Amino acid sequence: MAPGRVRRPRAAPVAALAAITAAALLAGCGLPFGGSGPDGRSSTTRAAGAPAAARAADATATAQTTTIPDSRAPRPSAGSVPSRIRATVARAQRTHEIPTPAPAQRALGGWRSPVQAVQVFAQWYINWTADTVASHLHVLAQAAIGQARSAMTLAAGQVARDGTLRLGGIANAGTVEAIAPVTGQRNVYAVVTRERTTATNTGAYQGLRPAWHVTLATVTKVDGWLWTISAWQPEN
């Protein structure tokens, strides 16, 4: 059953994936990122790690080196200013707004191959309890970009407000059974999972058999060599 619509949460890792997840948890990390970098060395990134702080420090250092132009310096003539800049200034004076591009999203980690990205992401998406589902979705949102980040963030907000999950003791468990590229669609993979939803405080899911689910996942390369999820679309 997908988080946010009670009847589709999802389950337990395959053996290799279980080892990766266990190692990450023992290291105090939520979602296991990692792979071999361009220099061949292994790297593992925590869900909330130092790179962001380092980037912030670099940005601060850059800001501190900005110089203020001398007001006595001659100003460029109107003819020497490109028309695009003049149009931007005119629009800003008219609307009191300066159009700026949206900042690029950055994932807090990634995986060394598209299949690994899809497998780990799916495993975390389908395995949850009422107590962990919101945190799982928040971590997945940080790991993803684009539509996938928006979808995970929205689902996390929905389940946080859904008291029936905790009251019913609802949980979802499943396994990733297959991952394959979608023919004719670049960087899109179909992931097949087998999941079962259970509950400890309600009979609503009693006797429910495991169900098969298909999700389309789009992967995008980040930081030049790692992969993450940029779109996540459950099909059933």
Taking only the tens place, the pLDDT of each residue in 187-236 is 999 999 999 999 999 898 888 899 999 999 999 999 888 999 999 999 99
The model's pLDDT over 102-148, given as tens digits with 9 standing for 90+, comes to 666 777 789 999 999 999 999 999 999 999 999 999 999 999 999 99
b/e for 42-78, b at 16 or more Cβ within 10 A?
eeebbbeeeeeeeeeeeeeeeeeeeeeeeeeeeeeee
Written out in words, the top-level CATH class of the domain with range 15-26+34-42+107-234 is: alpha beta
For residue 110, which of 51, 168, 159, 68 has the smallest C-alpha distance? 51
Separation CA 73–CA 27 (nearest Å): 57
Look at residue 83 in the predicted model and tell me its pLDDT.
78
Q: Is the whole-model pTM more than 0.85?
A: no
Beta bridge mates, 189: 181, 217
